[in-house]
Amino acid sequence: MRVVAGSAKGLRLVAPAGRDVRPTTDRVREATFNALFSMGVLDDAVVCDLFGGTGAMAIEALSRGAAHAHIVDTTAPAIGSIEENLETTGLTGEATVHRRDAFTYLETLVRDGDPTAGIDLFIVDPPYAFDQWQELFDALPKTMVVVESGRPVDPGDAWSILRTRKYGGSVVMFMEPKQAS
């Protein structure tokens, strides 16, 4: 696994041992970030990677011009890999690592003020067995969201799906909040 493009292009990233973390493949990351670039989403953006794993998605965003990344994960091995990967890429100063679950992190955003203030893009790539999609979509601040899953997911009535792409066993969906009519 490596950084596909940008300032950290070609640098190798590590993943925690075991099967708990399923890193996004280089091909899927490349396609996802090429699409985000074409949508004009990345430049100077603040990104939040809710299920960080290795931090590869957030690191790819930073490498391609995002201003800051919040990387959220719960396990010590994942946090260790994320921190090592940030060090390897020289991006430690542009990221904040949060050791907590995604729902607790989102609750903190709401409790501490305007949940949309400052975060331009949420990257949501939970384990494929994740089954709390509706709760997650209800908790997400209303801003741009990229979802990677093993199957298409229904975001509910509050979200518009902009694009859906399938890459082997991965489905990537680009969403934004529906505009009030």
Is residue 5 one of the residues assigned to a domain? no
- The enclosing H or E element of 155 equals none
Is residue 136 one of the residues assigned to a domain? yes
pLDDT value of position 111: 72
The answer to whether 166 and 153 are in contact (CB under 8 A) is no
pLDDT value of position 127: 83
DSSP 2: B
- The CATH number of residue 97's host domain is 3.40.50.150
Residue that wins the pLDDT comparison between 28 and 63: 63
Is residue 10 one of the residues assigned to a domain? no
Q: Which domain holds residue 32?
A: 26-177
Is residue 12 one of the residues assigned to a domain? no
Domain count, the chain: 1
Is residue 20 one of the residues assigned to a domain? no
Confidence of residue 10 (pLDDT cuts 50, 70, 90): confident
Confidence of residue 129 (pLDDT cuts 50, 70, 90): confident
pLDDT value of position 114: 55
Residue that wins the pLDDT comparison between 15 and 112: 15
Is residue 163 one of the residues assigned to a domain? yes
* pLDDT one-digit tens code per residue, 95-108: 999 999 999 999 88
Is residue 119 one of the residues assigned to a domain? yes
- Rounded Cα distance between 160 and 144, Å, is 10
**SS3 per residue for the chain:** CECCCCCCCCCECCCCCCCCCCCCCHHHHHHHHHHHHHCCCCCCCEEEECCCCCCHHHHHHHHCCCCEEEEEECCHHHHHHHHHHHHHHCCHHHEEEEECCHHHHHHHHHHCCCCCCCCCEEEECCCCCCCCHHHHHHHCCCCEEEEEECCCCCCCCCEEEEEEEEECCEEEEEEEECCCC
* SS3 label, residue 11: coil
pLDDT(116) > 90? no
* Nearest C-alpha neighbor of 29 from the set 162, 69, 6: 6
Q: Lowest-pLDDT range, 23-32, 62-71, 74-83?
A: 23-32
Which residue is it, tokens 């009519």?
181
Is residue 86 one of the residues assigned to a domain? yes
Residue-averaged pLDDT of the chain? 88
- The reply to whether the predicted model has a pTM over 0.75 is yes
pLDDT value of position 7: 84
